[in-house]
Amino acid sequence: GDSVTQMEGPVTLSEEAFLTINCTYTATGYPSLFWYVQYPGEGLQLLLKATKADDKGSNKGFEATYRKETTSFHLEKGSVQVSDSAVYFCALSDLNNFNKFYFGSGTKLNVKP
Amino acid sequence: DGGITQSPKYLFRKEGQNVTLSCEQNLNHDAMYWYRQDPGQGLRLIYYSQIVNDFQKGDIAEGYSVSREKKESFPLTVTSAQKNPTAFYLCASTPGQAVFQPQHFGDGTRLSIL
């Protein structure tokens, strides 16, 4: 079945540090991939997405590239800010099982000034 | 602006009581979902509905029930059969038949036991 695996957190970084949060997936078909961000007490907000192999999603300085050969969709940011502190979720939707989404367990990011 | 509204933001349940969480969307989306989130955990799918008057069980449907009488509404009832209901509940929606579209989420309802 489909699944998403994320690196465990929390990840603690100093402001302006480089961020990588690893995400790998298993899918039976041709998934679309997403990164969501969740701030305390709120729902999930879409951060970026990629719908086919080699696509790069980007938003607010965050980037992730859909790598079919390694079944990965790692989230990166060159210089994090305190305001980036949140929980990040990797997710997929599968063409063979559309309208059903699979989420990773989330990675908490703490950015210190 | 279009979006998903969940209410109430906080809810308390007594032993043996059923409670209903509201989810309303004005995005004209066909598909709607309910997830449960426990502290430090990911999202687990409770129920989902792809069209009015139709819904399917997710991974943890026991102790929950839903209805989908209108396109914009997808209420979740947490029944007394759910023995550990304390969690954060999230409602989401997507356009129908739109494989490449992300889910849109409400701001959640936090349910606690009195």
| pLDDT by 10s per residue, chain A, length 113 | 889 999 988 999 999 999 999 999 998 878 899 999 999 889 999 999 999 999 999 999 999 999 999 999 999 999 999 999 999 999 998 766 667 889 999 999 999 99
The pLDDT tens digits of the residues spanning B31-82 come to 999 999 998 788 999 999 989 999 999 999 999 999 999 999 999 999 998 8
Q: Does A51 sit within 8 Å of B41, measured CB to CB? A: no
> How close is the nearest chain A Cα to the Cα of B16, in Å?
27
Q: Does B41 sit within 8 Å of A98, measured CB to CB? A: no
Q: Does B5 touch chain A (CB under 8 A)?
A: no
Residue B51: strand pairing partners: B54
Residues of B within 8 A of A103 (CB-CB) are: 42-43
Rounded CA gap, B36 and B108, in Å? 10
Rounded CA gap, B30 and B7, in Å? 20
Q: Does B33 touch chain A (CB under 8 A)?
A: yes
Residues of A within 8 A of B105 (CB-CB) are: 36, 43-45
Q: Which residues contact B98 (CB under 8 A, 6 or more apart)?
A: none
Q: How many CB pairs under 8 A join A and B?
A: 60
Rounded CA gap, B44 and A61, in Å? 29
